[in-house]
């Protein structure tokens, strides 16, 4: 049993984190630390959680205690830099849900995030916690950088092909759509229901911070072909749908590739390989990533979908906690009693 500190936690991903921690069998207690919300009851921030979480007041982050075993950091980028080094120094573990420790390279971070990285020595000590890919290597670190929502969906779809058939790739283009909860809880005119109902728009075209995060991991698998990444908002609260179009040098056999994916994910309880393009609603409110691949005439279309707040944030964070402590990775984020069922 461990004690958990949650920094931030008043946002959409934070809410899920509170729910998961409440029902996790090995989390004995948790405390939430915040700035503006300090002194507020959890049930006043999230009235819907009344009766579903142990109701406590948010502590001021100024009074952050180092007595917890593990800290989930759900702060805006730049803010995590203020707290993570001290927590690590105190010998405790951190899972950072933000972007501050995802990139390996200080310069790359400063270029894309526009701020100085004051604890870049930690960048190479961290694990980039793409939980469904990595196996057992979590034992040597106290710092997990939880992947971004888009990179999770994109990488889980494209990584196996890169690993197994990367030389076949002429070019790849990922075009992803997200529910608006991904844009956060801060009121903005563009995010109003009255604006977003029936709307779609691309944003941060050619400039999204998740692009270098995706490329960094792809490159570790030898990826060296042209790549583009374009994000959109869609009229829904939750979910990410990523479609990756890969142009191929040759007619790669679809069946062979599917077998490769199957083997690649055979120990990944949260990846479901599908025979048809998945529906986003299949994964909403779950920690699953559903993936389909279709190859025809030198074109491979990969569709992958996740719940941006769970698999793309707090669910994967719990999965990473489970891996950090050597527990069954499905604990607290998968319905009890259900046996795994293979799809292919």
How remote is the C-alpha of 126 from its chain's centroid?
Answer: 15
Question: One of 127, 149, 280, 333 is an active-site residue; which one?
Answer: 149
Nearest to 86 by CA among 50, 122, 110, 46: 122
What SS3 class is residue 229?
strand
Identify the H or E element spanning 213: helix 210-220
User: Residues near 217 by Cβ (< 8 Å), separated by ≥ 6?
Assistant: 128, 130, 151, 155, 159
As measured in angstroms, the least distance from the Cβ of 82 to a copy of itself is: 25
All residues at 6 or more sequence positions from 339 whose CB lies less than 8 Å from its CB, including other chains: none
Determine the Cα–Cα distance for residues 289 and 283; give it in Å rounded to an integer.
7
Rule CB under 8 A: is residue 4 a binding residue for a copy of itself?
A: no
Phi-psi region of 85 (alpha: psi -120 to 50; beta: other; left: phi over 0): alpha
Contacts of 329 (CB under 8 A, 6+ apart): 131, 269, 319, 322, 323
Which among 114, 111, 120, 113 has a CA at the least distance from the CA of 85?
120
* Smallest gap from residue 309 Cβ to a copy of itself (A): 10
- Pick between residue 51 and residue 135 the one whose CB is nearest to a copy of itself: 51
Find the shortest distance in angstroms from Cβ 3 to a copy of itself: 14
What is d(CA 241, CA 176) in angstroms, rounded to the nearest whole number? Answer: 6
In the list 121, 299, 328, 344, the residue contacting a copy of itself (rule: CB under 8 A) is: 299
**Site map 309..338 versus a copy of itself, x via CB under 8 A:** -------------------------xxxxx
For the segment 214-253, give every residue that binds a copy of itself (CB under 8 A).
Answer: 226, 228, 230, 232, 234-239, 241, 243, 245, 247
Q: Which stretch binds a copy of itself (CB under 8 A): 71-79, 114-122, 150-158, 299-307?
A: 299-307
For a copy of itself, which is the closer residue by CB, 149 or 284?
284
By CB under 8 A, residue 193 contacts a copy of itself: yes
**Judged by CB, which is closer to a copy of itself: 303, or 320?**
303
Closest CA to 229 of 182, 179, 175, 178: 175
269 lines the binding site for a copy of itself (CB under 8 A): yes
Total number of residues shown for the chain: 344
> Does 196 sit near a copy of itself (CB under 8 A)?
yes
Nearer to a copy of itself, 19 or 119 (CB): 19
Q: Which two tokens stand for residue 97?
A: 């849900």
Contact yes or no for 80/43 (Cβ under 8 A)? no
Annotation says 149 is catalytic: yes
Return the residue of 60, 118, 263, 285 that touches a copy of itself, per CB under 8 A: 285
Between CA 205 and CA 318 the distance in angstroms is 31
Of the candidates 305, 314, 316, 320, which one interacts with a copy of itself according to CB under 8 A? 305
> Of 106-135, which residues contact a copy of itself (CB under 8 A)?
none
Both tokens assigned to 96: 């950072």
Nearer to a copy of itself, 152 or 292 (CB): 292
Report the site for a copy of itself in 10-69 (rule: CB under 8 A).
12, 19, 22-25, 43, 47-48, 50-55
**By C-beta, is 106 or 247 nearer to a copy of itself?**
247
Q: In angstroms, give the least distance from the CB of 184 to a copy of itself.
A: 8
By annotation, the residues acting in catalysis are 149
């Amino acid at each position: 049993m461990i004690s958990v500190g949650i920094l931030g936690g008043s946002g959409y991903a934070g809410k899920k984190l509170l729910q998961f921690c409440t029902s996790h069998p090995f989390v004995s207690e948790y405390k939430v630390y915040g700035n503006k919300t300090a002194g507020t009851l959890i049930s006043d921030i999230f009235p819907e959680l009344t009766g579903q979480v142990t109701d406590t007041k948010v502590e001021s982050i100024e009074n952050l205690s180092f007595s917890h075993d593990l800290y989930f950091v759900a702060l805006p980028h730049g803010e995590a830099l203020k707290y993570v080094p001290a927590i690590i120094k105190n010998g405790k573990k951190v899972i950072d849900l933000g972007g501050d420790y995802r990139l390996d390279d200080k310069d790359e971070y400063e270029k894309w995030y526009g701020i100085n990285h004051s604890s870049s020595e930690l960048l190479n000590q961290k694990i980039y916690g793409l939980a469904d890919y990595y196996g057992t290597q979590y034992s040597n670190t106290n710092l997990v950088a939880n992947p971004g929502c888009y990179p999770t969906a994109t990488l889980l779809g494209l990584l196996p092909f890169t690993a197994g058939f990367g030389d076949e790739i002429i070019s790849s283009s990922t075009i992803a759509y997200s529910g608006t909860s991904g844009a956060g809880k801060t009121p903005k005119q563009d995010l109003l229901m009255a604006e977003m109902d029936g709307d779609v728009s691309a944003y941060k075209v050619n400039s999204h911070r998740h692009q270098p995060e995706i490329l960094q991991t792809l490159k570790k698998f030898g990826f060296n072909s042209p790549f583009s990444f374009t994000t959109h908002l869609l009229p829904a609260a939750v979910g990410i749908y990523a479609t990756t179009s890969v142009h191929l040098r040759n007619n790669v056999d679809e069946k062979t590739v599917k077998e490769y994916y199957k083997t690649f994910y055979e120990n990944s309880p949260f990846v479901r390989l599908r025979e048809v393009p998945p529906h986003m609603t299949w994964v909403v409110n779950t920690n699953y990533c559903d993936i389909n691949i279709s190859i025809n005439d030198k074109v491979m279309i990969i569709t992958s979908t996740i719940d941006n707040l769970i698999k793309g944030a707090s669910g994967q964070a719990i999965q990473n906690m489970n891996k950090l402590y050597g527990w069954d990775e499905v604990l607290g984020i998968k319905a009890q009693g259900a046996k795994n069922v293979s799809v292919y």
